[in-house]
Amino acid sequence: MCELHGGEDFGQDVLDAGLLVRSSVRGVVARSGTFEGVVEGFEAYVTRHGADQQAEVLRFPPLFPRADYGRVNHIHNFPDLLGSVHTFLGSERDHRKLVLEFEDGQDWTRGLVSAETMLIPAACYPLYPLLEGELTGTRCVDLRSWVFRHEPSDDLPRMQCFRQREYVRVGTADQAWAHRELWRERALELLLNLGLPAVSQPANDPFFGRGGRLAKATQREQDLKYEVLVPVTSTDKPTAISSQNCHLDAFGTAFGIRLPDGSPAHTACVGFGLERIALALFKTHGLRLEDWPTSVRAELGL
Ligand code: ZN
């Protein structure tokens, strides 16, 4: 058993230690140098243990085209989490009105119009549009992105904007399934090896509303999603710090990614929630890096 460190309110302890700094909006926080060091150390650790994947590296900005957003079912499944970019495209007269509304404390955002971009809801979404057409062989892509989910919460690990590191496999149904299975085991091993009291469990995405119930049940029935969980702010409700997902041919179909026989490609991904993993490490090993086990610090180069 791992001894859990920290007081009753781990989130407050993290803030008091200056590891993270709150803003006036719940779930939007600044990261300290020490916190970032842990994130970087973990990423290097994943890169070392993912080297056999011979993955192509791609780093997207936190935005992707609105037109591509329209091709995934996000608006149907997760409307409550989306983030849309809006801007001002009006005349000088419209500008005067905008400034007046702003200065009067009115809702000045009504005069804004949508820009051509959305905030990324999952690190792998911007990849699929780039793969449209016939796939030659299987591809593995190493991604890291800032992602946005509008779920303001006082629970520190539940941030509105955070980073996901992913390895995505695109290929046949068997190749995608094998990738998910490989990383279901490997992600758990990598996290256990850092001394985290991690467990792997079948999971489902938070599909919206009553209609989402069926989607959740189907996802579980088809055994498509697993999560690695670690107690961070609660022992009863441990936090998901990694997920391993099989998407079947959903993205292959949506983005016209075809196998040589013309059928849609299958995809699978492993995702690591970098901030949550850092928080799980601080929870498990203590708020001061000096107190962490030597082996864990060595693995993370800290
Ligand atoms: Zn993904």
Per-residue pLDDT tens digits for 130-170 = 999 999 899 999 999 999 999 999 999 999 999 999 999 99
Sign of the four-CA dihedral 107, 113, 117, 122: positive
**Residue partners of 174: CB distance under 8 A and separation at least 6:** none
> How far, in Å, from the CA of 241 to the mean position of ligand 1?
13
Written as six digits, the tokens of 206 are 């938070």
> How far, in Å, from the CA of 269 to the mean position of ligand 1?
5
Give, as residue ranges, everything with CB less than 5 Å from ion ligand 1. 124, 166, 269
Confidence of residue 3 (pLDDT cuts 50, 70, 90): very low
Written as six digits, the tokens of 7 are 């007081």
| pLDDT of the residue at 22 | 95
> What does pLDDT average to over the chain?
95
| pLDDT of the residue at 111 | 87
Q: What's the rounded Cα separation, in Å, for the pair 176 and 237? A: 30
**How many residues in the chain?**
302
Q: If you average pLDDT over residues 39-49, what whole number do you get? A: 98
> How far, in Å, from the CA of 260 to the mean position of ligand 1?
23
> How far, in Å, from the CA of 143 to the mean position of ligand 1?
9
> How far, in Å, from the CA of 285 to the mean position of ligand 1?
28
Domains in the chain, CATH or no CATH each: 10-83+121-300 (3.30.930.10), 86-118 (no CATH)
Residue 17, judged by CB atoms within 10 A of its CB (0-12, 13-18, 19+), counts as middle
Render pLDDT for 24-43 as a digit per residue (tens, 0 to 9).
999 999 999 999 999 999 99
Determine contact, residues 124/155, Cβ cutoff 8 Å: no
> How far, in Å, from the CA of 12 to the mean position of ligand 1?
31
> How far, in Å, from the CA of 80 to the mean position of ligand 1?
19
> How far, in Å, from the CA of 286 to the mean position of ligand 1?
30
Sign of the four-CA dihedral 12, 163, 242, 35: negative
Determine contact, residues 216/205, Cβ cutoff 8 Å: yes
Q: List the single range of 33-47, 81-95, 203-217 with lowest mean pLDDT.
A: 203-217
